[in-house]
Amino acid sequence: MTTDITTAKAMRHLRKTAIVLTTAVALTGSGAAAAAAETPLGTGAYGTSGSGPTMRDVARLVLAAGAPGYVARIDDGRRVSATAAGVADRATGRPLTARDQFEIGSNTKTFTAVLALQLIDRRQLQLDAPIEKYLPGLVPNGRNITVRMLLSHTSGLFSYTADADFFASVNANPQHVHTEQELLDVAFRHEPNFAPGKGWSYSNTNYTVLGVLLRKLTGKSLPVLVQQRITGPLGLKHTYFADPRATNTGVGYAHGYSVRFAGPEPIYTDISNRPLGGFAGAAGAIISTPGELSRFFSSLLSGELISPRQLKEMKTTVALPETFGKGGYGLGLMRIDSPCGSVWGHGGDTLGHHSTAVTTGNGRRSAVSNTTANLGDGTPNEGVNRFIQVVTAADTVTICHMLGRSAPGEVIKALHGGSMTTS
Checking if the pLDDT of 165 tops 60, the result is yes
Checking if the pLDDT of 20 tops 80, the result is no
- Per-residue model confidence (pLDDT) at position 67: 84
Residues linked to residue 344 through DSSP beta bridges, in sequence order: 335, 359
Which one-letter amino acid corresponds to residue 360?
T
| C-alpha to C-alpha distances, 381 to 20, 166, 262, 377, 413, nearest whole angstrom | 22, 23, 8, 10, 20
Question: Among 237-246, 325-334, 380-389, 409-418, whose mean pLDDT is lowest?
Answer: 409-418
- Per-residue model confidence (pLDDT) at position 14: 43
Query: Quick one: how far is CA 123 from the chain centroid?
Result: 29
Please report how the helices 55-63 and 382-403 are oriented relative to each other, as an axis angle in degrees rounded to 10.
170
Checking if the pLDDT of 19 tops 90, the result is no
- Per-residue model confidence (pLDDT) at position 378: 84
| C-alpha to C-alpha distances, 104 to 64, 77, 141, 402, 419, nearest whole angstrom | 22, 23, 31, 20, 31
- Per-residue model confidence (pLDDT) at position 33: 33
- Per-residue model confidence (pLDDT) at position 34: 38
Confidence of residue 352 (pLDDT cuts 50, 70, 90): very high
8-415: what fold?
Beta-lactamase (3.40.710)
> Which one of the listed residues 30, 51, 81, 106 is annotated catalytic?
106
Contact 364, 77 (CB under 8 A): yes
- Measure the CA dihedral 74/77/78/81, to 10°: 10
Contact 274, 174 (CB under 8 A): yes
Measured distance CA(99)–CA(252) in Å, rounded: 7
Query: Quick one: how far is CA 81 from the chain centroid?
Result: 21
- Per-residue model confidence (pLDDT) at position 36: 56
Per-domain residue ranges of the chain: 8-415
Average pLDDT over every residue of 179-206 = 98
pLDDT digits (tens, 9 = 90+) for 56-112: 999 999 999 998 999 999 999 999 999 999 999 999 999 999 999 999 999 999 999
Average pLDDT over every residue of 230-249 = 94
Please report how the helices 108-121 and 290-301 are oriented relative to each other, as an axis angle in degrees rounded to 10.
30
Checking if the pLDDT of 17 tops 70, the result is no
Average pLDDT over every residue of 117-138 = 98
Average pLDDT over every residue of 382-389 = 93
Checking if the pLDDT of 309 tops 50, the result is yes
pLDDT digits (tens, 9 = 90+) for 242-266: 999 998 777 699 999 999 998 899 9
pLDDT digits (tens, 9 = 90+) for 124-133: 999 999 999 9
Mean of pLDDT over the chain: 87
- Per-residue model confidence (pLDDT) at position 37: 58
Secondary structure of residue 291 in the 3-state scheme: helix
355 as an active site residue: the answer is no
Measured distance CA(194)–CA(192) in Å, rounded: 5
The alpha carbon dihedral of 197, 199, 202, 205 has a sign of negative
Checking if the pLDDT of 420 tops 60, the result is no
Average pLDDT over every residue of 26-42 = 36
Residues 6+ apart with CB under 8 A from 130: 142, 143, 144, 145, 146
Average pLDDT over every residue of 278-286 = 96
Confidence of residue 22 (pLDDT cuts 50, 70, 90): very low
